[in-house]
A and B are shown apart, each in its own frame.
Chain A
Amino acid sequence: MAENKTVDLSAYKDVWVFAEQRGGVITPVVFELLGKGRDLASDIGDVKLCAILLGEDLSDMTTQLFEAGADVVYTADSPLLKNYTSDGYTKVISDAIHEFKPEIVLYGATHIGRDLAPRIAKRVSTGLTADCTKLDIDPETKGILQTRPAFGGNLMATIKCPNHRPQMSTVRPGVMDKAPVQKGRTGEVIPVTLTLQESDIRTKIIEIVKTAKDMVSLTDAEIIVSGGAGLGDASGFELIKKFADKVGGVVGASRAAVDAGWIDHSHQVGQTGTTVKPKIYIACGISGAIQHLAGMQTSDIIIAINKNPMAPIFEVADYGIVGDLYKVIPELMEAWG
Chain B
Amino acid sequence: MFEKKHEMLRKLAREFAEKELEPIAADAEKEGAYPKELWQKVAKYGFTGITIPEAYGGCGGDYKSLAIVVEEFCKKDAAASSLIMSNSLSGAPYLYYGTEEQKQKYLRPMVEGKTIGAFALTEPGAGSDSGATQTTCLWDEEQGCYILNGRKCFITMGPICDYAVVFAKSNLEAKGTRGISAFIVEADWEGFSRGKTEEKMGMHASVTSDLVFNNVKVPKENLLGKEGQGFKIAMGILDAGRVTVASQGLGIAAGCLDLAVEYSKERVQFGRPICKLQDVAFKLADMATEVEATRLLVYDVADKLDKKQKVTLQAAMAKYKAGEVCNQVAYKALQIHGGYGYMQDYAIERMTRAARLVSIYEGTSEIQKLVISGNLLK
Contacts and interface: CB of A to CB of B under 8 A. Distances in A.
Contact of A259 (B125, B134, B196): B196
Contacts of B210: 256, 259
A289 B136 CA distance: 15
Interface residues of A, number: 13
B149 interface: yes
A310 B195 contact: no
Contacts of B149: 308
A290 B195 contact: no
A311 B210 CA distance: 18
Contact of A289 (B124, B172, B196, B212): B124
Interface string A306-320: 001011100000000
A229 interface: yes
Main secondary structure of the interface of A (DSSP, over half): loop
Contacts of A232: 214
Contact of B124 (A260, A290, A310): A290
Interface in A272-296: 287, 289-291
Contacts of B214: 229, 232
Interface size class of B (residues with CB under 8 A): 10 to 19
B134 A287 contact: yes
A291 B212 CA distance: 16
A308 B125 CA distance: 16
B195 A256 contact: yes
Interface in A256-271: 256, 259-260
A256 B211 CA distance: 11
A312 B212 CA distance: 17
A256 B151 contact: yes
B134 A312 contact: yes
A287 B125 CA distance: 10
A260 B196 CA distance: 7
Contacts of A311: 134
Interface in B178-201: 195-196
Nearest to B153: A289
Interface string B119-156: 00000110000000010100000000000010100000
Nearest to A311: B134
Contacts of A289: 124-125, 151
A218 B212 CA distance: 27
Contacts of B212: 229, 256
A312 B125 contact: yes
Contacts of B151: 229, 256, 287, 289
B151 to A, nearest CB: 7
Contacts of A260: 195-196
B176 to A, nearest CB: 15
A158 B149 CA distance: 52
A289 B212 CA distance: 14
Interface in B209-268: 210, 212, 214
A310 B136 CA distance: 10
Nearest to A308: B149
Given A232-B214, A290-B125, 10 more contacts: A229-B151, A229-B214, A256-B151, A256-B212, A259-B196, A260-B195, A310-B134, A310-B172, A311-B134, A312-B125
By Cβ-Cβ distance, the 10 closest A-B pairs, closest first, are A289-B124, A259-B196, A259-B195, A290-B125, A289-B125, A291-B124, A312-B125, A290-B124, A256-B195, A229-B212
26 contacts: A229-B151, A229-B212, A229-B214, A232-B214, A256-B151, A256-B195, A256-B210, A256-B212, A259-B195, A259-B210, A260-B195, A260-B196, A287-B124, A287-B151, A289-B124, A289-B125, A289-B151, A290-B124, A290-B125, A291-B124, A308-B149, A310-B134, A310-B136, A310-B172, A311-B134, A312-B125
Interface of B: 124-125, 134, 136, 149, 151, 172, 195-196, 210, 212, 214
